[in-house]
Amino acid sequence: MTTVYDFTVRDRKGNDVSLKDYQGKVLLIVNTATGCGFTPHYDPLEAMYKEFREEGFEILDFPCNQFANQAPGTEDEIHEFCTVKFGTEFPQFAKINVNGEDAEPLFAYLATEKPFAGFGKGLKNAALNKFAEMNNKAFGDKAYIKWNFTKFLIDREGKVVARFEPTTDMEDVRAAVAAELKK
């Protein structure tokens, strides 16, 4: 059976990193962007990281520019933005694609394990859904991720246990992380 530990990704300097390095930890894997309306999620993400990392929690940050060109910078520019503006300390990896033929295999796997189930109810969510559908038309059946700041919760065995769309309240994400850490 496949787990996230079967994947190797690149860090922001271009070095291979085996996700086996994170075995036994609870992970939150996130595709991010520096110019998105959800970029303020970096604040609660960093707060969670500080609160839970001593309990075996890691956040793995993968910048992506596939959604309205909201992460146009280089890896170094993105990293500087995140560390200066939000004080992020969690690992940030190379900028990737999460959709299409050249989608990062890790994200194709994550989205297959926990497919998109909607952004939720309300006018704002309906508007985001419409915009995401237009943006992701080019990717057809390989539109794995619908928008920036989609988060996947991984248990200590490397299995995907939850998917959170960017519209999910960050307190709900925090509660799910806390509950997973107690298992």
Active site residues: 36
- Cβ 134 vs Cβ 50: under 8 Å: no
Buried b (16+ CB within 10 A) or exposed e, 73-86: bebeebbebbeeeb
Report CA-CA distances (Å) from 182 to 52, 55, 70, 114, 169: 11, 9, 35, 22, 21
- Cβ 96 vs Cβ 65: under 8 Å: no
- Residues 136, 139, 143, 148: what is their CA dihedral angle, to the nearest 10 degrees? -50
3-state percent helix, strand, coil for the chain, nearest multiple of 5: 45, 20, 40
Map tokens 């107690």 to a residue: 182
